[in-house]
Amino acid sequence: MDPLTATSTTARRPVRRRRYLLCPPEHFAVEYAINPWMDPARPVDRVAALRQWRELAAVLRGLGHRVELLDPEPGLPDMVFTANGATVVAGRVLVANFRHPQRAGESAAHRRWFAGARFRQVRTAAEVNEGEGDLLVAGPRILAASGFRTTPAAHREAQRVLGLPVVTLQLTDPRFYHLDTALAVLDESRVMYYPDAFSPASRRLLRRLYPDAILADARDAAAFGLNAVSDGRHVVLPDGARGLARQLREAGYTPTPVALPELQKAGGGPKCCVLELRSA
């Protein structure tokens, strides 16, 4: 059967080769607390963080994807989470405008990288916007969240600049402070999410938009299972999210577990470390 037209869940799902931006956690630390996972009193092993991050990069390369690197900068301990630095659609880049001053310096680093990498258009958000942390490209639309970081005004700005319709969702649980901690895009038409992270109205909207979504339970959500990177077939997710891995396998995807326990101390997982560079 042609994988591009296959609809059976047992058929191999079509995969698209992706281009990703990553940043090695050379200056990674938990020095401040801007989400409930961060505890500056708890020690962080930077060598282990680097080792775990290298494994993630190797997994992505092993799946055939192109990994590009952003130079880490001292004084920006969260810079490893490149997903928060921008949103890229069809070669157009909307650089983030971070909510917390501790991360503000990351915007300039992303701006410089994109300026040097010949993208069609590079703009910095005027509104508070944390990139793919809260703005997830899902086929014909962008799923956008607010509640903790990115604002509704930033959703409207993203729609204007990136040229895709934006669907606004409301996050309500501070543990799931970015959309990519509560929802993952699996392919053009399918997502997985943790319903309890959203307001009742957003839950209803998600049910209507994605009647066949995979739903995470509280345990898998707390294991950062929704912080996943999908290429349409392989879904790279934290190894603790066993129930999601099983559901993904049953739905015809290939779960690809990785372990990033050090980065999780900052409230991040695999998806936070990966910014997708979508060309025109």
* Catalytic residue list contains 273: no
Residue from the set 21, 22, 23, 34 that interacts with ligand ARG by CB under 6 A = 34
Q: Which tokens is 239 given?
A: 């190894």
Taking the CA atoms of residue 93, residue 97, residue 99 and residue 102 in that order, the dihedral angle to the nearest 10 degrees is 110
Which of 266, 274, 275, 276 is in the footprint of ligand ARG by CB under 6 A?
A: 266
Q: Residue 147 corresponds to which tokens in the numbers above?
A: 């509640």
The residue number whose beta carbon is nearest to ligand ARG equals 272
Catalytic status, residue 272: yes
**CA neighbor of 273 nearest in space, from 85, 111, 96:** 85
Among 267, 270, 274, 276, binds ligand ARG (CB under 6 A): 267
**Strand 234-238's sheet: what is its strand order?**
229-230, 234-238, 254-258
The torsion defined by the Cα of 25, 30, 31 and 33, in degrees rounded to 10, comes to: 130
* Of 159 and 227, CB closest to ligand ARG: 227
Residues 163-182 that bind ligand ARG (CB under 6 A): 178, 180-181
Q: How many CB atoms lie within 10 A of CB 43?
A: 10
Q: Which of residues 66-125 bind ligand ARG (CB under 6 A)?
A: 78, 81, 83-84, 103
- The most distant pair of C-alpha atoms in the chain lies apart, rounded to whole Å, by 55
- Tokens at 47, concatenated: 């060598």
The answer to whether residue 254 forms part of the interface with ligand ARG (CB under 6 A) is: no
Catalytic pick among 155, 178, 234, 273: 178
Residue choice 25, 255, 268, 270 for contact with ligand ARG (CB under 6 A): 268
- Paired with 87 in beta bridges are 94
User: In the window 192-211, what residues touch ligand ARG (CB under 6 A)?
Assistant: none
The residues assigned a catalytic role are 178, 272
Please report, as ranges, the residues that interact with ligand ARG according to CB under 6 A.
34-35, 38, 78, 81, 83-84, 103, 133, 178, 180-181, 266-268, 272
